[in-house]
Chain A
Amino acid sequence: MKCDLVVVGAGPAGSMTAKVAAEAGLNVVMLEKRQEIGDPVRCAEGVSKAALRELVEPDPVWVSAEVKGARIRAPDGTEIVISEDRAGAEVGYVLERKVFDRALALDAAEAGAKVMVKTRALGLLEEGGVLTGVSAQFVGESLKIEAPLVIGADGVESKVGRWAGIDTALKPKDIETCAQFLLLDEGIDDEYCEFYLGNEIAPGGYVWSFPKGQSIANVGIGVLGSKANSGTPVMLLREFVKKRFPEGKILEMMVGGVPVSGPIETTTADGIILVGDAARQSDPITGGGIINAMRAGVLAGDIAAELVPKGEVDKTSLQVYEKRWRETIGKSIARNFAVKEFFVDLTDDDLNRLTHSLDGIDIAQLDLRGLLKVLVRQNPKLLLKLRHLIV
């Protein structure tokens, strides 16, 4: 099989790349190793409304719920409330990813991309040192797909970069290891996303409750890999649920890993572009990766459409991708990585103190960056190291 562009992985990053490239006229093949796109889900499904709307028209079919804002709870129980609507904060919609991911793949297909499920990329094809495509397994049969450019949109378990000599292996301190229950409980706040902080609750991470309507929520935990041990996330999540939602009924469970490494050194090689979690573009503070994956997909799709017809797909030509993503989403990823590196070592006392320092300040309309600014202003000593980051 021959085409202009192979996209490996049909998550939000892959589908956006495939859609944009196909719309611009490229002959695109997108491979997905699972037999069902988007399932099983590995996500808490929260996204910013404003950011999502810039990328795709929201469809009630894949929006589970809309929230009014976020509550952040310090270890001692003190609460901060941030409203969603004014400032385009980090939350707003809670999605149904099973449906959402498939809808994005459908958009790509409608734009002309060929989608192949139960098709796993196995390695890169080469001829005389030049990349010529990928080898794959399609429902158990081997298959060669020739293309001058390969997009690695293969998520946290990405191999495409490694095949091309980019070491994307995540250090334990650069991954949040997560567990989540779909929980039914009267105590679920249907209107707010909740975040619980504390070194006992979730070392180097947090517990979240993202409501899906009718007293059901994604209640999950992320623990920093370097602070985790075998099975820590699911154990701590059970403890949390027992305390906070003792009558809670677990309707689904899932586990996963989110990269929090900050920008990696390189996301391109000759004939290769990495996008989304494969490029470790998820946000190091929130662990949110959907929006960045989609934005990177748009950039990569545009660039592929521009460069493939010209035959300019060597690493040097692909620097335009490095430049564009690092100047856009890369800026907040880099800043938030530095902030995360600092925050994961704070004690519960520090976290409580920070929360109390916001007493009497109107923060309802702030986004994450605005909130950090206020925190630095109120806690100049404790947050001295962050001052240069927050301008």
Chain B
Amino acid sequence: MLLVNRYKCGYCGACVGVCPAAALELVETWIEVNDDCISCGRCTKICPLGALELTKEAQA
């Protein structure tokens, strides 16, 4: 599952631009993640602030 650290996020939309599943949306200062996320991890590597993290499904 994708976790967004809202205290770190700089609401820039870079993650939204790279998501191959169009699972992310930037709404003012927060990032929404929908069910289309395929846990590919692309967004976590792109985030300039390191605000995104993929956790194992078991923890979800």
Contact = CB atoms under 8 A, between A and B. Distances in A.
Interface of A: 33-35, 40, 42, 120, 155-159, 162, 168-172, 175, 177-179, 225, 228-235, 253-257, 259
18 contacts: A42-B12, A155-B13, A157-B25, A157-B26, A162-B22, A169-B19, A172-B18, A172-B42, A175-B18, A177-B48, A178-B48, A228-B48, A231-B47, A231-B48, A254-B10, A256-B14, A257-B15, A259-B17
A35 B18 contact: no
B12 A234 contact: no
A276 to B, nearest CB: 13
A228 B46 contact: yes
A343 B47 CA distance: 23
A9 B47 CA distance: 22
Nearest to A257: B14
Nearest to A259: B17
The interface residues of chain B, by DSSP majority, are classed as: mixed
Nearest to B24: A157
Contact of A225 (B16, B18, B28): B18
A157 B48 contact: no
A372 B15 CA distance: 32
Interface in B2-60: 10-20, 22, 24-28, 42, 44-50, 52-53
Interface of B: 10-20, 22, 24-28, 42, 44-50, 52-53
A171 B18 contact: yes
Nearest to A163: B22
A33 B11 CA distance: 13
Given A169-B19, A169-B22, A234 B14 contact: no
Given A33-B28, A159-B22, A231-B49, A177 B14 contact: yes
B13 A230 contact: no
A45 to B, nearest CB: 15
A230 to B, nearest CB: 4
Given A33-B27, A157-B26, A162-B22, A257 B49 contact: no
Contact of B17 (A169, A232, A233): A169
Given A230-B44, A253-B10, A255-B10, A158 B49 contact: no
Q: Chain A CB within 10 Å — which of B16, B28, B46 has the most? A: B46
A232 B25 CA distance: 22
Nearest to B26: A157
B19 A230 contact: no
B17 A255 contact: no
Contact of B14 (A162, A169, A255): A255
A254 B53 CA distance: 20
Nearest to B22: A162
A175 B10 contact: no
Given A177-B47, A228-B46, A255 B12 contact: yes
